[in-house]
């Protein structure tokens, strides 16, 4: 019997050894699994709070830019609009019990310093670049609002429950958004008329604030007849007035043919086919009188108030009106010319 026990005892010791190894491995595995689960909790909160801050920043930038379309905007009113909407956006992942406290708190940045919480400036649609507005800010030149927010300053850093084991006790992040006032860059005009961009910038006569446009084709300074991509003679222009459905769709960058001919027949047709109260959507162009062409840079919608087709010079009296048509795709926006002006996120 003693011999048999002696023969069995090594096997028992081997089995006990394997069992011990299994316990150790299981313990290590459980610890790793627990650590991974703990880290995933922190990582999930980090992702969520970053998204929540991003949404608040996006909303603030959009609100600030939209405030530029007010009847009498100011730098302070634009900043206030951005701050108010940011404060209305809580960060639930930061404080689940308080639903994010009082929301995201931004600073006015009245000095308009680069990198401040609310920065006003000008966005170039051609180069897709933002230029800081000098102080004091001339709000009439501003078409873009940039909002920057650091979590630890706009609210507080996110405490980490388990990552502290690895030396990280909190999480901080920065989110930036820029919104511009623009209009869609693809439209189908409804009249064979083009307006010189200089009218809206004050370089050419024709605009009477706040919304009156007095346009004449006598010279290529404020308005022109256009045959779009075809001829610009009187009959060609008149055919588009008679049947606007034949007018081609245009996009920013297109080069169209223009003429300053004081064509009586076209003014007669304009008066007959576009009676007072009619809204026309037409391209805004950079005129090149030397080659009688214009480069489309945007669009505007005008209400026809009166067509003078017998005097010299003949003219069209119009009013700039809102027109929310076209795509809202931020990749197809262009400069805004007093119509269809909305805020778009550009980054």
Cα–Cα dist 77/79, whole Å: 5
pLDDT for 100: 46
The reply to whether omega before 44 is within 30° of 0 (cis) is: no
Q: Give residue 44's pLDDT.
A: 85
Dihedral (C-alpha) 297, 292, 301, 344: value to the nearest 10 degrees?
0
Give the C-alpha separation, 26 to 181, whole Å. 61
What span, in angstroms and rounded, lies between the C-alpha atoms of 125 and 129?
7
- The domain ranges of the chain are 2-181, 186-342
pLDDT of the residue at 38: 60
Q: What is the DSSP letter of 11?
A: H
- pLDDT at residue 323 in the model: 65
Residue listed under structure tokens 């920057």: 148
Helix axes 2-66, 75-87, angle to 10 degrees: 150
- Give the pLDDT of the chain (347 residues) as one tens digit per residue: 455 444 555 555 555 555 666 666 666 666 565 555 566 777 888 899 999 999 999 999 999 999 998 888 999 999 999 999 999 999 988 876 554 456 899 999 999 999 999 999 999 887 889 999 999 999 988 999 999 999 999 999 998 877 666 667 889 999 999 999 888 788 899 999 999 999 888 888 887 777 788 888 887 788 999 999 999 999 999 999 999 999 999 988 899 999 987 678 899 999 999 999 999 999 999 998 788 999 998 888 899 999 999 888 889 999 988 765 544 455 567 777 766 677 888 87
Decide: pTM greater than 0.75: no
Q: Count the Cβ atoms, other than its own, within 10 Å of residue 166.
A: 11
């Amino acid at each position: 019997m003693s011999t048999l026990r002696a023969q069995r005892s090594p096997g028992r010791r081997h089995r006990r050894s394997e069992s011990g190894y299994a316990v150790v491995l299981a313990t290590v595995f459980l610890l790793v699994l627990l650590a991974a689960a703990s880290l995933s909790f922190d990582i999930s909160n980090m992702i969520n709070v970053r998204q929540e801050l991003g949404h608040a920043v996006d909303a603030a930038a959009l609100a600030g830019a939209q405030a530029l379309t007010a009847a009498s905007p100011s730098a302070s009113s634009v900043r206030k609009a951005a701050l108010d909407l940011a404060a209305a956006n809580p960060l639930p992942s930061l404080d689940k019990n308080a639903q994010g406290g009082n929301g995201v708190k931004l600073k006015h940045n009245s000095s308009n310093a680069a990198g401040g919480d609310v920065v006003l400036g000008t966005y170039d649609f051609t180069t897709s670049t933002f230029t800081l507005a000098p102080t004091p800010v001339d709000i009439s030149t501003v078409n873009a609002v940039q909002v920057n927010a650091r979590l630890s300053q706009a609210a507080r850093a996110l405490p980490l429950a388990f990552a502290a084991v690895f030396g990280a006790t909190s999480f901080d992040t920065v989110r930036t958004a820029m919104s511009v006032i623009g209009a869609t860059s693809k439209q189908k005009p409804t009249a064979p008329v083009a307006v010189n961009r200089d009218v809206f910038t004050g370089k050419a006569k024709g605009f009477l604030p706040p919304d009156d446009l007095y346009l004449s084709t006598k010279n290529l300074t404020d308005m022109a007849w256009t045959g779009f991509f075809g001829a610009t003679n009187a009959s060609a222009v008149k055919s588009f007035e008679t049947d606007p459905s034949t007018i081609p769709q245009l996009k920013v960058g297109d080069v169209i043919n223009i003429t300053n001919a004081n064509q009586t027949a076209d003014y007669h047709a304009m008066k007959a086919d576009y009676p007072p109260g009619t809204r026309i959507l037409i391209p805004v162009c950079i005129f090149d009188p030397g080659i009688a062409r214009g480069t489309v840079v945007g669009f505007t919608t005008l209400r026809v108030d009166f067509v003078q087709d017998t005097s010299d010079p003949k003219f069209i009296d119009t009013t700039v009106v809102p027109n929310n048509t076209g795509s809202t795709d931020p990749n197809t926006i262009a400069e805004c010319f007093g119509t269809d002006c909305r805020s778009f996120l550009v980054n």
